[in-house]
A = this chain, B = another copy of it.
Amino acid sequence: MPTDLELELFVFMLATFLGLEIIRKVSPLLHTPLMSLTNAISAISVVGAILVTGAAGATFLSKVLGFIAITAVVTNIVSGFLITDRMVKMFKRREEKK
């Protein structure tokens, strides 16, 4: 039976190929919002931060580090998605007003 490492490596391989394919197709118009979007997505480490902080046997150190980590990534999540949204909303084909 495959170990966890082997499973994760498999997934990593697939995800990297997929990432390279998809990102290559992103319109150059949108490279700046793309960067802030991927950044917001990589704030998925919030999952790890919650697991560390909320664990039953969390030490005080874990709680403090986890607390800082959650604060940092939640800031990223909130500001990342909102600012990306603000950016992409600006892109309009035809001028609406006037």
Partner of A21, one of B10, B11, B15, B21: B21
Q: Which of A7, A10, A14, A25 has its CB near the most chain B CB atoms (within 10 A)?
A: A14
Chain B residues whose CB sits within 8 angstroms of the CB of A21 once the complex forms: 18, 21-22, 25
Is A17 interfacial (CB-CB < 8 Å)?
yes
How many whole Å from A73's CB to the nearest CB in chain B? 22
Chain B residues whose CB sits within 8 angstroms of the CB of A25 once the complex forms: 21
Using CB atoms, name the residue of chain B closest to A21: B21
How many whole Å from A69's CB to the nearest CB in chain B? 23
A contact set with B: CB distance below 8 Å: 7, 10-11, 14-15, 17-18, 21-22, 25
A-B pairs, top 8 by smallest CB distance, nearest first, are A14-B14, A21-B21, A18-B18, A17-B18, A14-B18, A7-B7, A14-B15, A21-B22
